[in-house]
Amino acid sequence: MNKKSHNKKRNVGIIYEQLILTISRAVVENNLTVVEQAKSIIKKYFKPGTELYKEHKLFQALIKPQIDDPSLATSILGEAKKASRAHDYGRLEREKSKMIRDINLNFGKNFYNTKIKEYKDYATVQTLLNDWRFETKDFARLVEYEKKVHSILTRSKNVATLAEQKTPAVNNLVVKIMTDKFNARYGQRLTELQQNLIKQYVFADQNNGLKFQIQIDAQAKSEPVETQLANSFTQVADTGTGDPANIFTTSALFGNQDRNFSHALHSIAIYPNAYTGNITIQGSCIENTPNSDDASTDWFDVESNISLSASSSIYHKTFTLNANWLRILHTPTSGSIDKILVRN
């Protein structure tokens, strides 16, 4: 990277904010596939221990807090400078490249056109990080950008929330005008449930927000996520290499622990094709994507005694699993499995 240029596609702070905005927009549009794709990228690339995680923490430390003491802001700049130079820059760039490939694959290059409110702040911080790491000889430029980031740290960041801007003086006429405008713009674009949630929030003061909170809670607990499809299997054990059996596995599927609460009900439908063999359902509670090896300790058995004999009929199983991930292993004797559907 040219140390004197700013490339928004390689700005970790900007990309993270764009991923969050992508999730927010997809939630409103009820596009759960996009929600899971963006969440998966965040979980994969911004997990603790990665250079991207460390870089994002630097951005947050230099942009988000409001520091009232100028001398403290100067100290924060000094610590951030040390931290930026301690990062493994080569590894950071490799992680960025892999993340960009995943983003391009899932969302296309228009993803980077997503506008964020603090774009200039993130660009300024990125430029300063580059100058620190490459130890620029342009001291005038270095001082200029350090002053800019110092100003970002010390400026007022008090932003009024929607709740703070509401007033008890709202009368029926205002309510009618708001309702008419809302229906005209969003009536055909939002589901009845989405419209109701927004209305509950707008008028939450009338009952201390209790009704809105109940509505949100009920919706979060009742609505299932999109069905997941597994139609390709990876061989993780091979008799040809000395393993006792041929074992195939799906990829790690989302367990959606954050959506399932205490009920955690799952259903799977297995589509066999003259299949004879044994099938095992496994779960994993670790945060990051588990190891795919058949003997990995990242996984535990949920159901392990599923046997089919020359079957071409759909096999259905409902079970309880409160975990982050699940997968299906199968050990075939003959035939094949065409696909597996998983519903939370």
The pLDDT tens digits of the residues spanning 89-128 come to: 999 999 999 999 999 999 998 999 999 888 999 999 999 9
Quote the distance between the C-alpha of residue 299 and its chain's center: 22
Give the model's pLDDT for residue 49: 87
The CATH number covering residue 233 comes to 2.60.120
What's the chain's average pLDDT? 81
pLDDT band at 266 (very low <50, low <70, confident <90, very high): confident
Residues 52 and 167 in one domain: no
How many domains in the chain?
A: 3
Q: Is residue 3 part of a domain?
A: no
One-letter amino acid of 294:
D
Is residue 34 pLDDT above 70, yes or no?
yes
For the stretch 209-247, pLDDT in tens is 444 454 544 554 445 567 889 999 999 999 989 889 999
Q: What angle do CA 53, 225, 234 make, to 5 degrees?
A: 70
Please tell me the pTM assigned to this model: 0.48
Residues 173 and 96 in one domain: no
Q: What is the largest CA-CA distance in the chain?
A: 79
- The domain in which residue 138 lies consists of 8-154
* Three-class secondary structure of residue 160 per DSSP: coil
pLDDT band at 160 (very low <50, low <70, confident <90, very high): very low
Give the model's pLDDT for residue 170: 54
Start-end of H helices in the chain: 12-28, 32-45, 51-63, 70-86, 89-107, 119-134, 139-154, 162-165, 172-186, 192-202, 210-222, 257-260
Q: Could you tell me if 283 and 325 are in contact, meaning their C-beta atoms sit under 8 angstroms apart? A: yes
Q: Which of 306, 336, 337, 308 is nearest to 319 (CA)?
A: 306
Q: Is residue 234 part of a domain?
A: yes
Residues 233 and 199 in one domain: no
pLDDT band at 165 (very low <50, low <70, confident <90, very high): very low
Give the model's pLDDT for residue 289: 78
